[in-house]
Structure formats: structure tokens, C-alpha cells
Amino acid sequence: MVVLNEKQLQEICKDMRADILRMTERAGSGHPGGSLSAVELMAVLYFNVLNHKPQEPGWSERDRFILSKGHACPVLYSAMSRSGYFPVEELLTLRQLDSRLQGHPNMKALPGLECSSGSLGQGLSISNGLAIAAKIDKKNYRVYCLMGDGELQEGQVWEAAMTAAHYKLDNVCAIVDYNNLQIDGKVEDVKNIAPLKEKWQSFNWHVIEIDGHDLIQIFQAYEEAKGVKKKPTVIIARTIKGKGVSFMENVAGWHGKAPNKKELEAALKEIYG
């Protein structure tokens, strides 16, 4: 694990946002909006929290990360490359034929992925399985699961929430990227998931609410989660879809649309000033 200070993390976040935009522009497709909203959450996790060895992705003692919202894989690929799993240059192969970086994560293609994901609602169940295995094997690794807010409309999420609480999986930390937009519009209009804090509490989870773009709050939330015993933790992170690019922010249309060359140039100027 590499530990970065706040200024270094801010610079990494700029690079990750640029990666996401360059990748999707080159591919001509992808999901920039929900990738941009999760940049800070992923940067802190991969650089300051996860116990992992990028040069040894199969290390048995590693913490596990599950990207349940698999369509947001550009942010995961960026975090992985920037932390040393593979060359940054490979990012530009996103969604190309025979690339290891497919439009949804393929664990058989890319070392460092714990599961293939994309079918929404399944990630927390997978995380529970890994966490139970850790308990049985008396391993100390933790399991982190990033979910979208629209994904919480899936019934399987709440079955998994019950399971994690029932088995007292204090080695599970769920993260909700709460940007309040999904492909069809506002989450509250499609199928309202509020009140979210109270829902998770009623399932006997420890709940932490934060600003999902505040690096200090994010780090403190991950650290708090590590200290919770006998119950799982969920971090509800309030975020902005398309964060960092003015014309993408809070616009549902950027959920699954790639920028063109002109839009990419304008976005990069905003990111790097």
C-alpha cells in the first residue's frame, strides 16, 4: 500500500479523471458519469486503505475489492494502473477487441480483479462470500464493495444486507456512490431509495454518511469502518455524477455516453486548469 498525502491524492484524482475521459473518448463508448463520481472514493481506497500488492495480485492476504457497478470500470482500471497493476498506457485499449480492459470487468482477463461484474445487484452477495471465507480461514483481509445508488433498487442487495448482518460480517465495507442519477434520470423519480441511512440501520449495519468528494472524510470513514465489530459497515457517499467536468455534472445523459474530441479537450482544460 502506498500512502499519499492530501495534495498527492488531489493530483492523482486529476489524472484519474483525465484517464476516464481519454479512455472513453478513444473507445467511443463507455460510462464516464458514474466513473467520475467515484474518483475520490477509489483513489483513497487504492492508495491509502487497501492492503494489497499490485505486483503480486494473487497475494492471499490482500484486501478484496468488488466493483458491483461494473459499468463504472474506467475508474477501477485507472486506479489499478496508477497504483501499479499494469501500465497506464494500456488504459487506451478500453473496450477494444482482445483487450484486457473490457467494458465490464473480466476477472479471467485481468489479474487484480476479484470478480467479473456488470449485472447490477450482485456485488454485495459476492463480497459476503469472500468475507465468510475469510472468517472460516481465519484470515484478516477486508472486503470492500462499491455500489451505485440506482443499483440499490435491486432486491438482491437487501437480501445480501440481511446476510451480512446475520453473520456479523464486520470485515465487509459497502460504499454507495450516491449521485442520485441513473440511466433513466433521477433515482428518486425512477424508484426512490430514501431514507437510505435509516434503511441500512434497520438492517443492522453501521452507517457512515460523508461527502464523497472530500478526501479527508473518505479516509476517516474507511478507518472508522475498520474499527467496527460484530456488524458490517456501509459508507453512504454523497457525490456528483460527472464530477470535475462542468458540462457533465448532474447530467443523466452522461451516464453512458463518451465525449468526442472537442469535449475531451474542453474537459481536460477544466481538470488541469
What is the structure's pLDDT at 92?
98
199 closest CA partner among 174, 169, 230, 226: 174
Q: pLDDT for 13-66, tens place per residue? A: 999 999 999 999 999 999 999 999 999 999 999 999 999 999 999 999 999 999
Mention every residue, 6+ apart, whose C-beta is less than 8 A from residue 237: 41, 175, 176, 177, 178, 210, 211, 212, 218, 221
- Asked if 183 and 156 touch (Cβ cutoff 8 Å), the reply is no
The cell numbers describing 67, all together, are 466493483
β pairing state of 64-67 and 172-178:
unpaired
Instruction: Determine if residue 69 is left, alpha or beta; phi over 0 gives left, psi from -120 to 50 gives alpha, anything else beta.
Output: beta
Distance between CA atoms of 241 and 105, rounded to whole angstroms? Answer: 21
pLDDT per residue as tens digits for the range 98-110: 999 999 999 999 9
User: Closest Cα to residue 84, out of 121, 55, 123, 120?
Assistant: 55
Position of cell 460484530?
Answer: 230
Tell me the pLDDT tens digit for each residue of 159-215.
Answer: 999 999 999 999 999 999 999 999 999 999 999 999 999 999 999 999 999 999 999
Q: What CATH number was assigned to the domain covering residues 6-272?
A: 3.40.50.970
CA-only gyration radius of the chain, Å: 17
Distance between CA atoms of residues 194 and 187, nearest Å: 9
- Length of the chain (residues): 273
- The string of DSSP letters for 166-206 reads HTT-TTEEEEEEE-SEETTEEHHHHH---SHHHHHHHTT-E
Q: Is the pLDDT of residue 1 over 80?
A: no
Return the beta strands (E) in the chain as ranges: 64-67, 143-148, 172-178, 181-182, 185-186, 206-211, 233-238
pLDDT tier at 2, thresholds 50, 70, 90: confident
**Predicted TM-score of the model (pTM):** 0.98
Show me where the domains of the chain are located. Answer: 6-272
First to last CA, the chain: 29
pLDDT for the residue 115: 97
pLDDT tens for residues 3-15? 899 999 999 999 9
Give the model's pLDDT for residue 95: 98
What integer pLDDT is reported at residue 273 of this predicted model? 86
For the four alpha carbons of 192, 198, 199 and 200, in that order, the dihedral sign comes to: positive
In angstroms, the CA 44 to CA 217 distance is 10
Q: What is the mean pLDDT of the chain?
A: 98
Tell me the one-letter amino acid at 134. A
How many CA atoms within 13 Å lie on the side-chain side of 61? 4
CB 235 within 8 A of CB 210: yes
